Amino acid sequence: MAEKTVKIGLVGFGIVGSGVAKIILEDNDEIAVRTGLRLELACVVDKDITTARVVSLPDGVLTDDVDQLLNDDSIDIAIELVGGTTFAKDLQIKMLQSGKHVVTANKALLAKHSTELCKIAAENNKCIAFEASCAGGIPIVSAIRTSLAGNNIEAIYGIVNGTCNYILSNMTTKNEDFETALKQAQEKGYAEADPTLDINGGDSAHKLIILSSLAFGYELKLEDVYVEGIEGIAKADINYGGEMGYILKLLAIGKKDSDGKVSLKVKPSFIAKDDPLAKVDGSFNAVSIFGSAVGQVTFYGRGAGMMPTASAVVADVIEVGLGNSEKSFRATSLKPREQVLPLIKKIGNTLSRFYIRMMVKDQPGGLASYSRVLSKHDISISGVLQHEGSGPDNTVPIVITTHLVRQQQITAAMEDMKNLDVVSGKPVCISIVDMPEDTD
């Protein structure tokens, strides 16, 4: 097979950038044999051109001058691994306007500005490829785009933030507290520079927007996602949920009903212990997709880190080099925003089961009072757990699971519950997510 060479420029020689350079420089011959494409790393740009990395670049490749890349007309593909949404946005625009296809891992930028960036790409007959932006090394973007193209995608359930999954896993299996687990996740390099975006669910929301836009064919925006993070999660709730057969995960959930209505949520969620997602531990990511033809498919792998993310970046470089990304980029047309807006479901209208934990005074009438509140809001109890023995101030923890209710019913019931004399402090309320049945 005749070999084709593509010239590549990379901006951002940090952790992922070094991994990308390492693959291109060390595995180029094998890649050329497998794909017919030879990758030539022509230019690597970074502010820091002195610190040693995991790979040494050939002389003359490393520079701190981005114009060297932008002004080189022989460069076909520009990789943006800078991160952030300001400098990186200007940079991607300049890359496109100087006639280069863009490959990026920048989920925050795409979640906020993909409409504008894709328009600029189209005007310049270029494409933007972003496999590495969601779930690191898991090829989920290409799976949605190509392998699952014969399906109407009905739902996405994703564990797409390794930091949160690492924290929740360690709280569950090692009985660690939140702060200890977060510190370890930071030390291991899973967390964003500012871990707030990990733990408040923002990073998962970025990835959910990217995946759901592609899966459902809608122009979606961050404001469409209801987001709750894991900051307030107590070990006690992980333990009580565990007693009732559930594991706690931060789930990013996108669902499209048969009438086209879409709901998007990032929430700490209890899932059944035997669901494939319940077994995803540590910093691993996993995404379950429910397709009209295929049923449930679950993708599992490393969602962050140098080489897994570099794997996705290089895959995109190859797909762009072969001309495949450009074709699928051109073919993607999302339902425009004004038509999508009436199809976004408000969180209050979405249905879920719930786990509720309250500290209730251990005295006659406690059970009667809270069950009256639930009954008033038409909430049916599915299970109750109360151990003998008292908590602080003669209280006892009571855990209730509900049948399916609307979020707005639970919110109203929690307000009433808080005001009951027998209830001490604020009740805890966490969704229970039952995956759709996929039976023969």
* Residue 135 CB, nearest approach to ligand HSE (Å): 8
* Residue 288 CB, nearest approach to ligand HSE (Å): 17
Among 40, 72, 192, 281, binds ligand HSE (CB under 6 A): 192
Stretch that binds ligand HSE, among 52-60, 191-199, 237-245, 383-391 (CB under 6 A): 191-199
Among 83, 136, 139, 427, binds ligand HSE (CB under 6 A): 136
Q: Is the dihedral of CA 130, 135, 138, 141 positive or negative?
A: negative
Give CA separation, 317 vs 17, 27, 224, 364, in Å: 13, 14, 31, 68
* Residue 297 β-bridge partners: 289
User: In sequence order, which residues have a C-beta less than 8 Å from that of residue 167 and are 6 or more positions away?
Assistant: 178, 181, 182, 185, 199, 230
Give CA separation, 358 vs 232, 244, 275, 396, 397, in Å: 15, 16, 27, 8, 6
**The two structure tokens encoding residue 72:** 């080189």
**Considering only residues 143-162, where is the footprint of ligand HSE by CB under 6 A?**
161-162
Nearest Cα residue to 302 out of 152, 381, 189: 189
What does DSSP say about strands 225-227 and 128-129: parallel, antiparallel, or unpaired? unpaired
* Nearer to ligand HSE (CB atom), residue 136 or residue 301: 136
* Nearer to ligand HSE (CB atom), residue 305 or residue 427: 305
How far is it between the farthest Cα atoms of the chain?
83
* Nearer to ligand HSE (CB atom), residue 98 or residue 161: 161
Does residue 203 belong to the site contacting ligand HSE (CB under 6 A)? yes
303 within 8 A of 284, measured Cβ to Cβ: yes
User: In sequence order, which residues have a C-beta less than 8 Å from that of residue 38 and are 6 or more positions away?
Assistant: 3, 4, 5, 6, 28, 31, 32
* Nearer to ligand HSE (CB atom), residue 225 or residue 414: 225
Among 18, 98, 163, 431, binds ligand HSE (CB under 6 A): 163
Which of 207, 255, 265, 361 is labelled catalytic? 207
Active site residue 207: yes
Among 191, 205, 251, 286, binds ligand HSE (CB under 6 A): 191
* Nearer to ligand HSE (CB atom), residue 167 or residue 373: 167
Does residue 303 belong to the site contacting ligand HSE (CB under 6 A)? yes
Among 13, 130, 157, 190, binds ligand HSE (CB under 6 A): 190
Q: Which residues bind ligand HSE (CB under 6 A)?
A: 136, 161-163, 190-192, 198, 203, 303-304
Active site residues: 207
